[in-house]
Amino acid sequence: MPNDFDVIIIGSGAGGGTIAYTLADTGKRILILEQGTFLPREKRNWDPAFIFGEDGYKADINWEGPDGENIRPIVYYNVGGNTKMYGALLHRQRPEDFEKQQHRGGVSPEWPIKYDEYEPYYMMAEHVMKIHGNRGEDPTEGWYSGPFPFKAFPHERRIQEVADNLERMGLHPHHSNLALNRDMEEPWRRPCIACNTCDPFPCMVHAKSDAETALVRPALKHENVTLWTGSRVEKLIEENGKITRVEGTRDGEPMSLSADLVVVSCGAIQTAALLLRSRVANSSDQVGRNFTKHNQSGISAMDYSNPNPTIFQKTLGVHDFYHGSPEHPYPLGTIQLTGKAHWTRIMGDYASQGIDEQRAREVQQYAVDFWFTSEDLPDANNRIEWTDKGIKFNYRPNNRESHFEFLDYFQENYLKPQGFTDFMRSTKGLEFTWHQAGTAQFGTDPKKSVLDVNCKAWDVDNLYVVDASFQPSQGATNPTLTVVANAIRVGEHLRKDWFASDGVSVEDYPLSDPYMADSAGAQVLAPTYKAGDDESWGA
Ligand SMILES: Cc1cc2nc3c(=O)[nH]c(=O)nc-3n(C[C@H](O)[C@H](O)[C@H](O)COP(=O)(O)OP(=O)(O)OC[C@H]3O[C@@H](n4cnc5c(N)ncnc54)[C@H](O)[C@@H]3O)c2cc1C
Ligand code: SF4
């Protein structure tokens, strides 16, 4: 009897959306199962009081922490997954991140595949996510086979001042790499309005290149691709080395389906939970282990002689200390700006410091909001477990000394000398699982890894995993571009090896915007974008 579908994809975030997009034109019967629904477009998408004060759109779930404590993670379960709320700052990993690296707190392992092999897939990922940026500004970026598709977002006045000051002090501030669908020269052509409610808000006008707008909706234009929302997978049934049933509920009713190929992309934590409760793909005992999520802190820096009226703040990055500093012979990490923090967010960020509304409003008026990301290191004891109570989030941060040195170093040597006199600092706790990765690593040894280099489970012939679970480490770069690039790579393998179809190239990931242009009926006005064509950039 034929299976219900050729491919079932579980999860509609960055990994699942990319696989759907990459396989869509094969004509195969593809079903995407997503436990959430579409996130509504509504005014409160951009209401800070709703997002920060009421935990707007956050999943209503609890996990057990490493010491038995209750954790309410910041995760979002809807079409597009966590990317609906993400900051859309998308980096390639640095070439060194694919090699073994000594950190102050231990070792970051080597990857089985290196930057050179990923490069063409990063190009395709940058196209489909419509990245804005300027090549050559960031001293740590790897080699590239083409320009960024779109010019970088310019700095507003106060941020340009900060960039100029940092440059005078010998650093190389760069313009952020942003996945937003804006036309810089003719802003009426594309939907992004460069507003102050982007990070971490959903985009009311669907101008953020998230997994829904850039990947899932374009994939759904193909009649052979179907999305079922409200469809939660509880269990994968394995028989003779194959997944034969995908079981769960659809709108609360039992659901049992079959497919030739099953692709799991539930996010690193939920993917581990699904594999563990299904008791599949775990002969190595590695499922759930080596969980990483980055060390992350914010510094709100105030210069009371210089208010910060910036609207779209997320335009500046500093990577000079990615591999260390003259005083630190080990990697430190990245510095970015966050979206301009509203006082309601500031109240949450500094709640443990007893901040009141008046002070939060003052911080909003003056602060430039810096965000620091450093690598945490894979450790087999940092693991997601599945118990009779649900997920046990057994994670303890590591490699933190260098993270805190990084904050002190930048504050003393680069913020104070340019006039910032007051600082508020917060380090993100266990509930910040935004950059979750590493729970089903790929590798070359079935005894030490869960997936082979094509991200197929070693133990199961028709099971693939394409979210951030596959990552042996995640450098200090934001993870999503690597998830998208890797899923394109896996998608190409599936096209060729499973469907005897052709490979993919950058032309398959165009810069045009089928979703928004079509819904606006604006094809007539839409220009033709060609990579590398200076005249057409941002036109
Ligand atoms: C506030 C915030 C800001 C961020 N900012 C950035 C940024 O600026 N840059 C960056 O690179 N990254 C950022 N990230 C991280 C980024 O969102 C993730 O890297 C990305 O979403 C990972 O994609 P994924 O496919 O692995 O999983 P997800 O996006 O988590 O998608 C998984 C999907 O699977 C569904 N699912 C889970 N279990 C099941 C099940 N059993 N059955 C059916 N469906 C299921 C979920 O509902 C979800 O929709 C941010 C994240 C957050 C939360
Ligand atoms: S309009 Fe642009 S800046 Fe505003 S939320 Fe949407 S993508 Fe972000």
Q: Per-residue pLDDT tens for 133-168?
A: 999 999 999 999 999 999 999 999 999 999 999 999
Query: Is the beta carbon of 13 within 6 A of some atom in ligand 1?
Result: yes
Number of other residues whose CB lies within 10 A of the CB of residue 145: 10
pLDDT at 527 exceeding the cut of 70? no
Tokens of 428: 């993100």
- Ligand that comes closest to the CA of residue 437: 1
| CA pair distance 239, 385, nearest whole angstrom | 23
Q: Which residues, 6 or more positions from 153, have their beta carbon under 8 angstroms from its beta carbon? A: 132, 175, 176, 178, 180, 182, 184, 194, 312, 314, 315
Which helix (DSSP H) or strand (DSSP E) does residue 9 occupy? strand 5-10
Residue-averaged pLDDT of the chain = 94
pLDDT at 280 exceeding the cut of 50? yes
What is the layout of strands, in order, in the sheet containing 242-250?
231-239, 242-250, 253-257
pLDDT value of position 532:
54
Residue 182 Cα: closest atom of ligand 2: 2
Integer distance in angstroms from the first to the last C-alpha of the chain?
52
Q: Contact 117/488 with Cβ under 8 angstroms?
A: no
Query: Is the beta carbon of 85 within 6 A of some atom in ligand 1?
Result: yes
pLDDT value of position 315:
97
Apex 7 CA angle, 59 and 116, nearest 5: 85
- If you measure from the C-alpha of residue 276 to the centroid of ligand 2, how many angstroms do you get, rounded to a whole number? 38
Q: b/e map of 96-125 (b: 16 or more CB within 10 Å)?
A: bbbeebebbbeebbebbeebeebbbbbbbb
Q: What is the pLDDT of residues 389-415, one digit of tens each?
A: 999 999 999 999 999 999 999 999 999
DSSP type of residue 171 = -
Residue 52 lies in a domain: no
Determine the structural domain holding residue 89 and report its residue range: 5-43+73-515
Query: Is the beta carbon of 282 within 6 A of some atom in ligand 1?
Result: no
Apex 249 CA angle, 244 and 251, nearest 5: 145
Q: Answer whether the bond into residue 200 is a cis peptide, omega within 30°.
A: yes
Residue 81 lies in a domain: yes
Q: In terms of Cα–Cα distance, which of 209, 207, 214 is closest to 191?
A: 207
pLDDT value of position 351:
83
- Ligand that comes closest to the CA of residue 469: 1
Q: What is the pLDDT of residues 108-129, one digit of tens each?
A: 999 999 999 999 999 999 999 9
- If you measure from the C-alpha of residue 458 to the centroid of ligand 1, how many angstroms do you get, rounded to a whole number? 24
Show the beta-strand stretches assigned E in 144-281.
Answer: 174-175, 225-228, 231-239, 242-250, 253-257, 259-264
Residue 477 Cα: closest atom of ligand 1: 11
Residue 34 Cα: closest atom of ligand 1: 44
CA atoms within 13 A on the CB side of 128: 36
pLDDT at 443 exceeding the cut of 60? yes
pLDDT value of position 88:
97
pLDDT band at 525 (very low <50, low <70, confident <90, very high): very low
- If you measure from the C-alpha of residue 46 to the centroid of ligand 2, how many angstroms do you get, rounded to a whole number? 10
Ligand 2 site residues (CB inside 6 A) read: 180, 192-195, 197-198, 201, 203, 205, 207-208
Number of other residues whose CB lies within 10 A of the CB of residue 186: 11
- If you measure from the C-alpha of residue 525 to the centroid of ligand 1, how many angstroms do you get, rounded to a whole number? 33
Residue 67 lies in a domain: no
Residue 50 lies in a domain: no
Pocket test for ligand 1, best of 19, 79, 82, 470 (most atoms within 8 A of CB): 82
pLDDT at 106 exceeding the cut of 50? yes
Q: Contact 228/396 with Cβ under 8 angstroms?
A: no
Residue 56 lies in a domain: no
Q: What is the pTM of this model?
A: 0.95
The CATH number linked to 113 is 3.50.50.60
Residue 309 lies in a domain: yes
Q: In terms of Cα–Cα distance, which of 420, 361, 407, 382 is closest to 269?
A: 382
Instruction: Please provide residue 17's backbone torsions phi and psi, each rounded to the nearest 5 degrees.
Output: -60, -40
Q: Which residues, 6 or more positions from 256, have their beta carbon under 8 angstroms from its beta carbon? A: 245, 246, 247
- If you measure from the C-alpha of residue 314 to the centroid of ligand 1, how many angstroms do you get, rounded to a whole number? 20
Q: Contact 430/393 with Cβ under 8 angstroms?
A: yes
Pocket test for ligand 2, best of 193, 196, 199 (most atoms within 8 A of CB): 193
Show the beta-strand stretches assigned E in 321-421.
Answer: 334-337, 368-374, 383-387, 390-394
pLDDT value of position 531:
54
Pocket test for ligand 2, best of 47, 205, 210 (most atoms within 8 A of CB): 205
- If you measure from the C-alpha of residue 83 to the centroid of ligand 1, how many angstroms do you get, rounded to a whole number? 5
| CA pair distance 397, 399, nearest whole angstrom | 7
**Secondary structure, 3-state, 463-508:** EEECCHHHCCCCCCCCCHHHHHHHHHHHHHHHHHHCCCCCCCCHHH
Q: Contact 234/248 with Cβ under 8 angstroms?
A: yes
Tally of domains in the chain: 1
Residue 348 lies in a domain: yes
| CA pair distance 146, 406, nearest whole angstrom | 32
Residue 534 lies in a domain: no
pLDDT band at 482 (very low <50, low <70, confident <90, very high): very high
pLDDT band at 264 (very low <50, low <70, confident <90, very high): very high
Mean pLDDT within 43-67? 94
Q: What is the pLDDT of residues 299-355, one digit of tens each?
A: 999 999 999 999 999 999 999 999 999 999 999 999 999 998 889 889 888 888 888
Rg (C-alpha) for the chain, rounded Å, is 22
pLDDT band at 516 (very low <50, low <70, confident <90, very high): low
| CA pair distance 201, 51, nearest whole angstrom | 7
Number of other residues whose CB lies within 10 A of the CB of residue 357: 11
DSSP count for the chain of H helices, then E strands: 11, 20
pLDDT at 489 exceeding the cut of 50? yes
Query: Is the beta carbon of 368 within 6 A of some atom in ligand 1?
Result: no
